[in-house]
Each structure stands twice: as structure tokens, then as C-alpha cells.
Amino acid sequence: MTYQLLLGDYAYSSWSLRGWLLFEKFGLSRVQTMVDFSDKSVGEQLAQFAPARTVPTMVTPEGAVVSDSLAIGEELASRHPDAGLWPTDPKARATARSLAAEMHSGFMALRSDCPMNLRLSYQDAAPSDAVRADLARLETIWSHARSTCAPTGPWLCGDFSVADAMFAPVAARIAGYNLPVGPDAKSYVAAHLADPAFRRWRAMGMVHGATLPWYAKDFTTRPWPGPEPMAATAVETGTPENANCPYSGKPSTHFLQLDGRTFGMCNAFCRDKTVADPSAWPAFVAML
């Protein structure tokens, strides 16, 4: 028996992104169930998993219901001590925990004014003074983490940790609303946008579910500032190079073309998430 992970909309659910990354980045197996955000009845859809009423929610193999991203991270770290969810160095681990907790309980202006929307990016979102104050605080704690932990890579406290999972949707907000931050913060945001796991989540958000108008803002849009995807196209017919879907192993029934080559997937979602960002999917890249 494995974990069950209940998630909201890929494009809009910032907390679901955090919960998903805690499994995806650390190679932890789960069975996923998506909650429909379009009818706004998340609590009702989770009724069979009481007392959960928000996403993400994790159900452990023993049946415990854990419906909080930070609690999910702590519980997974306890159950999988060798997975690396927290840094092993005590000073780095303490720093990462402090940052994750502050993200969990703070930055209300940024959350309220700039809801995550991975389908759009804006040229100028005219951030309020309260949002600017949140951005200044983010730069302070991110800079402190990197100077304290001296990581050699792009993440805050060493290797990717729970703290970075907590800040992934913040990076998405800064990118999506083109919020003003300094060079070091921009580099940290860029690391999230380029991370293959983040790109897989966003690719699914581009093609799964309806566009929800209540997340849109009345600002001029611009292209998404992350890495530009390879140019792939969904096609109705074709003779694929692969007989079976690279994700499920089922027969290829839906097709895409890339660089004059045709590949097959087992359903429209597998095809469309690949078209959205082909190089984000290791199983597909292996066929190239």
C-alpha cells in the first residue's frame, strides 16, 4: 500500500504544487486524485477523507489524514529519513525549517493580491506597498539562508529541500506578476522556473482543467518568462515511432509531432502535457 495524494488544480493551486513537489522531487510513490476547482466545492469533494477540507491532503498507508503542506513535509521526512527532505547539516536544517514555517504563516499580501496562475504572466501588476514589503522580506530571508548555508547550487540551504518546495509557488507569483526583486532573488526564481519538476507541473496546468476566470487580473500579459519549450504539435493521425506510451506502457492512440518525427501516447492528457513542454518529461526525452 502506498500514499494517496489529493491535489487541486495544477494551474491555480499553490499549496497543491508544494505537496506534489514533496513527493516528486524526492522520488516518493503515491496515487494521485485531482479535485475539481471549477465548482468551488473542494470541501464537499473531500468529504470521504474527513476531516480534510483543503488540498493538498495526504492519506498515509495506515489511513492517517494529513491535510497541510508543512505537516506533509514533516511526516514524509520522519518516514523517509534518507530521502533528503531536510538538509542533514544541523545549521542548514534549522535555517530551512525556519524559512518553511515563515512561508507557511506569512506573506498574506502577496498571496491575496497575486494568486498563482501558471497560465498567464503579466507585464506590470502594479504591486501594492504591502506586496512590496513582502517581497523585501523574501529577499532578506533568502539572502540570509544562502549566506548562512553557503550552498553550491541554486537552492536556499543546499540541495532542494522542503523549504524550496514551500517557495516554489512564490517563485511562480514573482514570475507571473513580474514583481520587482533584485538579481539574487531573480536567480532563485529562475532556478524554480527551469527545474524539470516545476516545468512538468506547469505543463499539466496548461492542458488540464478549465481556465478559471476568477484567477485572471486586468493587466497586460506577456510570454511566460521560463525556458521556452520545444515546438511540438498535437496531430490527429500518424505512424508513431513508439508502439506504447512512454508513461503508461499502454498502446499509442494519440499523437504528436516534433522535429518531423511522430510519437504516440495512450491518451489526450499524456499527449498534451508533452506538447506543452516536451523536454520536461524524462520518459519522453529518452525516446529522442
SS3 per residue for 182-242: CHHHHHHHHHHHHCHHHHHHHHHHHHCCCCCHHHCCCCCEECCCCCCCCCEEEECCCCCCC
**Do 99 and 174 fall within a single domain?**
yes
Phi/psi at 233 (5° precision): -140, 135
**Do 267 and 187 fall within a single domain?**
no
Residue 137 confidence (pLDDT) above 70: yes
**Do 97 and 187 fall within a single domain?**
yes
pLDDT digits (tens, 9 = 90+) for 52-109: 989 999 999 999 999 999 999 999 999 999 999 999 999 999 999 999 999 999 999 9
Using only C-alpha atoms, what is the Rg of the chain? 19
pLDDT digits (tens, 9 = 90+) for 209-260: 999 999 999 999 999 999 999 999 999 999 999 999 999 999 999 999 999 9
The whole domain housing 283 covers: 232-287
**Do 105 and 75 fall within a single domain?**
no
Q: 41-55, 121-135, 203-217: lowest mean pLDDT where?
A: 41-55
Q: Residue 233's beta-bridge partner residues?
A: 257
How far apart CA 123 and CA 163 sit, in angstroms, is 28
Number of domains in the chain: 3
pLDDT digits (tens, 9 = 90+) for 154-201: 999 999 999 999 999 999 999 999 999 999 999 999 999 999 999 999
Return the CATH number at 19. Answer: 3.40.30.10
**106 found inside a domain:** yes
**23 found inside a domain:** yes
Residue 23 confidence (pLDDT) above 90: yes
- Angle in degrees, CA 2, 195, 224, rounded to 5: 120
**218 found inside a domain:** no
pLDDT at 42: 83
Cell of 262: 511522430
**Do 18 and 95 fall within a single domain?**
no
pLDDT at 1: 61
